[in-house]
Structures are given as C-alpha cells and as structure tokens.
Amino acid sequence: MNAPAVKDLLFRMADDELILAHRHSEWTGLGPLLEEDIAFSSIAQDKLGHAQAMYAIMHEHLDEPDPDTLAFMRNESAMKCCQFVELPNGEYDFSLMRHYLFDAAEYVRWTALTQSSFEPLAKLAFKIRGERKYHLYHAQTWVKQLGSQGSEESHARMQTALREAWPYALGMFEPSEADAALIADGVFVGEQEIYQQWMAFLTPTLTEAALHIPDQVEPVYGGRKGYHTEHLQPLLTEMTEVYRIDPSAEW
C-alpha cells in the first residue's frame, strides 16, 4: 500500500467533511423551520464524526498526529478540502443545493469505498452507509419539492443555485496524482470514475426536479493542492478559536 497516496485521499475526504460540517452548523438556530434547523445541525454532527473517524484512521495506521491536532492545527495551505465546501452558506437554496450535490457525491464515493483494499476505510464505509441515506433523503426531498412541486420562484432559485454551485461542485473531482497508485492498489476507484457515477446518479433526480444541468462549465480546481478561496481562512480562524487558546487542554 502506498501510504502517501492513502493519506492524500483521506485528507481530501476528511477535510471536505470537516469544513462542510462547520458550514452546516452555521444554520443551527437560524434554519427556516425548526425541523430544518435540526436537520442541518444533525447532518453537521454526522459529518464531523466522519471527519474525526478518518483523522483517527490516519493517526492509528499512518503515523499522523491525533485527530484534534489534524483538524485544528493545520494552516490553510495544508487543508485539502475542495473550494465548494468553503463557500459561505448564502441563502437556503444554495445551502440545500450544495448539500444535495455533495451528499450525492459522497453516496457514490462511500459505496465504492466499501470495496476498498484498505480495510479500516472499507469498515468505516460499511458502517456509515445507513447514516448517509438519511442525508441524501433529506437533500433529495427538498430538491425535488422546490424544483418541481413548489412555485415559480422556488424553481428559479434552485436553478440559480445549481448554476452557481456547478463549477465548484465539479471541483470535488479534481484529479489527484495519488489516484493512479490508489487505483492500482485497489484502495479507491479514482475521481474520474466517481465523477461519472455521480453524473449518472444525479441526472434522474435533477430531471424530476425540472432542473437543467449546466453544460460547458470549467471546473474550479485548486482546493486539493491547498489553494483556497478567501472564505476558508476566516472559517478556520473561527473554528479553531477556542482550541488554540490551549491546545493541551483536556475536554
């Protein structure tokens, strides 16, 4: 097994979950309905749990520091999340659309990972398949409802959200130099394959929601190499504020 390649994969996935968990948690107390407030808060907590589990795998199997250090003590340029997850929440339409596009990608990604030759990751993938369904169900329900069963305004808002999210969503599948080794070792099927499965998976739902998938769009890459938007650093500053006061504190 190629350890640097596996770490590259785990950092990409864990950092995505950590940062999106933080963005989702920003809806706590502000959701448009109580149920939605709770939904985003719960999904945030699940995602944080998944990030922590991946950092723990790196700590236990790949000689990385403990999960808290990995989550809270790395600089912006060391973060491997895609730029999609760092974007501000915007309005609820954008948050829902991002939630849907991300969780659909996560669904195909984690389904593929149940077959991973890296056992700790395969076990985690198998473990979280039930949790993930609830996330996707939530996102899918709203995308369909607001897309085709709501009003003209809700449809227009969802279409705009899809158009704005799309270039960044494509950035989730930024090619990585690690993928060749990961594919060869049977750890992961590679971003290109996940992208194709994601497109096939999304299309029926978006069609049912009467939403048009933008075409001829240039993906926004860079996040996987440590190049981020101006939105990430303020998020990291806020997220790590308490932890950095005393990193050695026992919680």
185 binds another protein per the rule CB under 8 A = no
Identified binder of another protein from the candidate list 72, 134, 201, 221, rule CB under 8 A: 134
6 binds another protein per the rule CB under 8 A = no
Any idea what the Cα angle at residue 226 is, between residues 3 and 174, rounded to 5°? 75
50 binds another protein per the rule CB under 8 A = yes
49 binds another protein per the rule CB under 8 A = yes
39 binds another protein per the rule CB under 8 A = yes
C-alpha torsion sign, points 42, 78, 53, 198? positive
Q: How is residue 72 annotated by DSSP?
A: H
State whether residue 212 is helix, strand or coil: coil
Identified binder of another protein from the candidate list 10, 18, 20, 53, rule CB under 8 A: 53
133 binds another protein per the rule CB under 8 A = yes
Identified binder of another protein from the candidate list 3, 32, 35, 244, rule CB under 8 A: 35
Residues contacting 114, CB < 8 A, separation 6+: 122, 125, 126, 129
Of 53 and 178, CB closest to another protein: 53
- Pick out residues in 72-111 that bind another protein (CB under 8 A): none
Contact 205, 144 (CB under 8 A): yes
Single-letter amino acid, residue 74: R
Of 95 and 159, CB closest to another protein: 95
138 binds another protein per the rule CB under 8 A = yes
46 binds another protein per the rule CB under 8 A = yes
Identified binder of another protein from the candidate list 72, 126, 201, 221, rule CB under 8 A: 126
Contact 178, 110 (CB under 8 A): no
User: Rounded to an integer, what distance in angstroms lies between the CA atom of residue 125 and that of residue 123?
Assistant: 5
32 binds another protein per the rule CB under 8 A = no
Which long-range contacts link 201-205 to residues 24+ away (Cβ below 8 Å)?
Answer: 201/104, 201/107, 201/108, 202/101, 202/104, 205/100, 205/104, 205/140, 205/143, 205/144
Interface with another protein (CB under 8 A):
35, 38-39, 41-43, 45-50, 52-53, 123-124, 126-128, 130-131, 133-134, 137-138
